Amino acid sequence: MCGIICYIGKQNSVPILIEGLKRLEYRGYDSAGIASLDSESNNVLFVKSVGKVSELEKKVKSHKFKGDYGIAHTRWATHGKPTESNAHPHTDCSKKLFLIHNGIIENYEVLKRELEKKGHRFVSDTDTEVLAHLIEDNLDGNFEDAVRKSLGMVEGTFGIAVIHRDFPRKIIVARRGSPLIIGVGEGEYLAASDVNAFIRYTNRVIYLNDDEMALLNDDNIVITDLNLNRISKEPETIDWSVEGDDKKGFKHFMLKEIYEQPKTVENAIRGRLIEGEGISKLGGLEPVIEKIMNLKKLTFVSCGTSFYAGLYGKYIFERLTDLDVYVDYASEFRYRNLKLSEYDGVMAISQSGETADTLAALREAKRKGALVLGLVNVVGSTIAKETDAGVYCHAGPEIGVASTKIFVSQCVILNLIALLIGRRKGLSIFDGMNLIREIKKLPEHIKTILENGNVIRDIARKYLSFKDFLYIGRHLNYPVAMEGALKLKEISYVHAEGYPAGEMKHGPISLIDENFPTVAIATNGFTYEKIVSNIQEIKARNGKVIAIATEGNTEIEKIVDDIIFVPETIDILQPILNVIPLQLFAYYFADFKGCDIDKPRNLAKSVTVE
């Protein structure tokens, strides 16, 4: 959830570190800090601030400092409130060591008491500061050994970077459960919690695994495990561009990413469809395809928006395959008494590939003998590495905290995976070819919806005074109702509830009055008449209704207050189109309210702590 960026080289590290922090803002944070050292003078710039990186940048500029290596951090508060003393980097009693940390040190209270008995004095409420003092306590002439020994004493998760004035031109980084990636440049090295932080400087990267430590210096990188055994790793070249860092004229990244979705779908299906055979081709699953064919049950584990993608996927897999399909919140999955075997599959769905709860769920599934699969966007992420096989979204960077294009990408790819399995079993070539033809039409359908963005914007303005919303859908559109409500509450801070429409009479209808509007997903399909009945019940109680309806449906206009039309496709793909206007409605609603859309309060893009 927090952001780490490090640099060592011949350039001035300060602007590089500040720029890196700006690229990590989308991850969510409430304070920031930097420590940069100048090799010649051994002077240090050590500055922290509460709030935006821009506030830290103002402070840093006033110092007019140039340092050739350093570390910087954006913090999302866990232990202790957002204050300068709690912001990273943290230092030791000597004020020579500077450390940044993502994750949680679970035994920090025990360690802190022991260190206080030895005379260490703490100035923050954080768990992280304990590690700085612990390294100081273990330091006996060997910097690397002190870090290694200290990490062996902590329980929990960490991604750390640490520098010390007595050991110049060295940055030590290490990870356990929190991502760290090293960038290999020309005569310089970088490290970060997210490749976005340094992609402008290099696309050659080394991924650290859990319980690995790296020493970055002028000449090379030395990677070891926490027992100091050397590990050899060659840099990988990643196919990742800086395009996502540019709003391309859009007011916010979220709006840009909504409008990128035709391309997102094209990227999701490129090279993966064999229309003449009515089947998909997914190279990432080929090594385990026979094991997949032997599965009896498949469980999707995920969080947030990815959970709703999994919920949609359940309907798709039940339609196209013979699998028994379940969906579980990753945060709850591993606490159950799981009965898994080689005939069970567990698919982890995650945008970042680093979601802590999802990662813990897949590890538990693997421990119990299940086949573990992944659907992620970030190449080289921890989930991608720890699953038996998987599929990448190839959607490019998503900067807006509230996911839009990744959700659509996940939904499209879940269709491709189900098609692959279904066609190897009972699904006919005719049904497979028909699905492929309709999938290929999705980009143009999405463009049609986006061309009517002004209509959606006007409707959002009309409902700006309302404080509560109900979103309802049936069958395949139930997950979309949930996702639509989530988008509105994430970025506008307005209360919104998503419900299966059939449950409305079992409680939520008591909320309906003229001040509680409903967004009803009422596109054509076998549940259409039932959702119309729900709308009639709402109107009978003076409730206002915004309907998502199929183009050409003139009848529904007579019973709703406002309507947003979407193109018609086959029923299992219709939710992919229906979610687009809900994304736009949430965006314009939040924009009219003046909210910080790309960086909503209290939220983080990548939730890497439990």
- Count Cβ atoms below 10 Å from residue 298 Cβ, excluding itself: 26
Of 377, 376, 412, the closest CA to residue 574 belongs to 412
What is the distance between the alpha carbons of residues 359 and 522, in angstroms, rounded to a whole number? 36
DSSP symbols for 446-486 = HHHHHHTHHHHHHHHHHTTT--EEEEEE-GGGHHHHHHHHH
Q: Which H, E and C letters describe 227-296, residue by residue?
A: CCCEECCCCEECCCCCHHHCCCCCCCHHHHHHHCHHHHHHHHHCCCEEHHHCEECCHHHHHHHHHHHCCC
Tell me the two tokens of residue 246: 């540019």
E strand or H helix that includes residue 503? none
How does DSSP classify residue 209? P
Closest Cα to residue 348, out of 340, 359, 337, 339? 359
- Please give the Cα distance from 242 to 131 (Å, whole number): 34
Q: Which SS3 state, helix, strand or coil, does residue 312 take?
A: helix
- CA geometry: angle 512, 516, 519, nearest 5 deg: 95
- DSSP labels, 71-139: EEEEE--SSS-S-TTTSSPEE-TTS-EEEEEES-BTTHHHHHHHHHHTT----SS-SHHHHHHHHHHH-
Q: Is 300 helix (H, G, I), strand (E, B) or coil?
A: strand
Q: What's the rounded Cα separation, in Å, for the pair 234 and 349?
A: 28
Contact 170, 253 (CB under 8 A): no
Contacts of 319 (CB under 8 A, 6+ apart): 418, 572
Pairing of strands 389-392, 371-376: parallel
Pairing of strands 230-231, 236-237: unpaired
* Amino acid (one-letter) located at 576: I
Are the CB atoms for 470 and 508 separated by under 8 Å? yes
How far apart (Å, rounded) are the C-alpha atoms in residues 112 and 157? 17
**Which residues belong to the active site?**
2, 605
